[in-house]
Amino acid sequence: MHRDPSVSRYAAGQLSPARRASDLARLADRRYDVVVIGGGVTGVGAALDAASRGLSVALLEAHDLASGTSSRSSKLIHGGLRYLEQLEFGLVHEALRERGLLAGRLAPHLVRPVPILVPLATSPGPLAPAARAWHRAYYGAGVALYDLFAGVTGESTRGMPAHRHLSRTSARRLFPSLREDVLTGAIRYYDGQVDDARYVATLARTAASLGAVILPSAKVVGLIRDAREVTGVRAVDQETGAEFEVSARTVVAATGVWSDDISALLGEGRPRLRVRASKGVHLVLPRSAINGDAGLILRTPTSVLFVLPWGGHWIVGTTDTDWSLDRDHPAASARDITYLLEQVNRWLDRQVSTSDIEGVYAGLRPLLVGEARPGRSPHSMDEHTSKLSREHAVVEPMLGLMLVAGGKYTTYRVMAADVIDRAARRLGPDVPASHTDQLPLLGADGYRPLWSARADVARRHGLPVGVLEHLLERYGSLTMELLELIGADPSLGRPVDGAPEYLAAEIVYAASHEGALHLEDTLTRRTRISIETSHRGTDSARQAAALMGRVLGWDDAAQRREVDNYLARVAAERQSQLMPDDLSADAARLGAPDARHPAAAGA
């Protein structure tokens, strides 16, 4: 399906309430080439890949875009330095190629370099000098190989400088909070950083700009079959409770940790991708809690831990533990938080504590069953059995249905191309090859000239340069749409209550252009107010609900309901983080209502 050529690409990519209503209405009017189930990065990437080949596409997501794993990562676009130790050369090379594409061509406004230190620890005893030399040579060789792979992909000129060895003095100059007594030096390298949820929203708008139907709050509850072939899906509009059907020539399920749910719809005896969930917990700390101008990658007894600069904050994570409880709302327990604090404090001269924590988030990483089993520690997985969990697989358990799972965020585009290639075999020989490696996301075109002229642009619009930089790094050239909102209503140029890093215009824009349907969507994914403020967004909720209500038509009662649901969610998450284990944390988190259930919306 192609967009109307008289409509600009930006306008065609607007995920407005009116667009959602029209998309719902036209679902019954045609048979789609591809129906995608799942609004995470892989599913949305598949929708974009298919739409860019000229195929008609409809994507259905039960909750919000990126509401699962794709908004709860470590926020890195990386090759996976630690995978070199496991001799995963092909995976690292592929991921570094994708990192170069995203940072250089496809999304330079969303993916940017972040420096990371590999601290080299002291070694006790008479063999300490030899041990120190070995550590530097060992890790130095690994980082050098990482840079070599990046250079082979042609990425060396795309803003990711080569690694550099640092003495202890130089390392502490760059990261003063590192304990001097445990440090002999460091190696600095660069990787990519991204706001993962914002990336998915931009990816979805790009697919929509090419004619794809993008429908959040649409839960697939059944598969339509004709004999032994899948010919469509049955779904429920989570906003109204209305049921509907979508006819399809092929169905692609990119549902991550929910893959077993799709397989279950097929019944027993069918080949399937069985996925197990591994929980990863991250902490968000204020930038003042740790003194440093780079990130850290730290070796723990079982895995690695990242400490990453994130604007005015730090992200610390992650854990890696089995999770068999509620998948929609994974909960961080007090044990998870204690573990992370203990690991990072081994390296810091000033200890951080729970009183420093601004936000906590937990996500579920999909591991292909049989490729991971619990490790000896409560916070580890057996590295020797998780190989395929870092790769991806595509299967067709029934004619017309393709399942894709595994992989990593950085290589979503490769996964998407592979599963659409599989669908194309059924759709005929005229389907062109994937070319998403040549397709910049919305906001990329014109970003660099705007960045160069940011001082002039800010002055023309009466904004501080720092505010414009914030917008450009989140929206790229789409920033002009926000400036139009502010021009029409100057009050939208003011900061959000309780969240001075964000503008009121961003709250409105989330609902008018980015498909946000609930307060939670805006405070947790379109912005990151829920994890970047010590109040977790509660001080911003009422104003944000009023701003969204202008776009979504919420009356006073609807606004109060959204605020009450959000406050209950925050309270449940805080309570879960005081619980000693997963079972009690899960029970506490489930105490909050789901804003997407029609009953919760008063339907």
Residue 42 lies in a domain: yes
What does the alpha-carbon distance between residue 321 and residue 94 come to, in Å, rounded to a whole number?
A: 26
143 or 479: whose pLDDT is higher?
479
Query: Helix H segments across 444-555?
Result: 447-452, 454-461, 465-475, 479-488, 504-513, 519-521, 529-532, 541-552
Residue 212 lies in a domain: yes
Please state which of the ranges 49-58, 123-132, 528-537, 558-567 shows the lowest mean pLDDT: 123-132
What does the alpha-carbon distance between residue 519 and residue 335 come to, in Å, rounded to a whole number?
A: 29
Amino acid, res. 470: H
Residue 239 lies in a domain: yes
pLDDT score for 603:
35
Is residue 479 scored above 80 in pLDDT?
Answer: yes
What's the chain's average pLDDT?
A: 89
**Number of residues that this document lists for the chain:** 603
Residue 587 lies in a domain: no
Is residue 514 scored above 70 in pLDDT?
Answer: yes
Structural domains in the chain (count): 1
Tell me the sheet residues that pair with 402.
Answer: 252
pLDDT score for 375:
44
Count of C-beta atoms within a 10 Å radius of residue 138: 11
Residue 65 lies in a domain: yes
Handedness of CA 27, 30, 36, 41 (dihedral sign): negative
Query: Which pLDDT band holds residue 85 (cuts at 50, 70, 90)?
Result: low
What does the alpha-carbon distance between residue 453 and residue 201 come to, in Å, rounded to a whole number?
A: 26
pLDDT tens track for 253-284: 999 999 888 988 887 656 567 788 999 999 99
pLDDT score for 160:
81
Residue 590 lies in a domain: no
161 or 208: whose pLDDT is higher?
208
First-to-last C-alpha distance (Å) of the chain: 33
Average pLDDT over residues 41-45: 98
Residue from 342, 74, 289 nearest 193 by CA? 74
pLDDT tens track for 385-409: 233 345 788 989 899 999 999 888 9
As a whole number of Å, the CA-based R_g of the chain is: 24
Question: 243-253 and 401-406 as β-strands: parallel, antiparallel, unpaired?
Answer: parallel
Is residue 361 scored above 70 in pLDDT?
Answer: yes
* Residue 405 belongs to domain with CATH number: 3.50.50.60
Is residue 89 scored above 90 in pLDDT?
Answer: no
What are the phi and psi torsion angles at 500 (to 5°)? -65, -10
Residue 428 lies in a domain: yes
Query: Which pLDDT band holds residue 145 (cuts at 50, 70, 90)?
Result: confident
Is residue 348 scored above 50 in pLDDT?
Answer: yes
Is residue 63 scored above 50 in pLDDT?
Answer: yes
CB 182 within 8 A of CB 347: yes
Domain with 428 in it = 9-70+198-274+389-438
Query: Which pLDDT band holds residue 4 (cuts at 50, 70, 90)?
Result: low
Residue 95 lies in a domain: no
Is residue 355 scored above 80 in pLDDT?
Answer: yes
% of the chain with per-residue pLDDT over 90 = 74
Average pLDDT over residues 47-71: 97
Average pLDDT over residues 425-437: 95
- Distance, CA of 570 to chain centre: 20
508 or 597: whose pLDDT is higher?
508
Query: Which pLDDT band holds residue 372 (cuts at 50, 70, 90)?
Result: very low
Average pLDDT over residues 584-593: 93
pLDDT tens track for 6-41: 778 888 999 999 999 999 998 988 999 999 999 999
Is residue 196 scored above 80 in pLDDT?
Answer: yes
Assigned token pair, 172: 């502490």
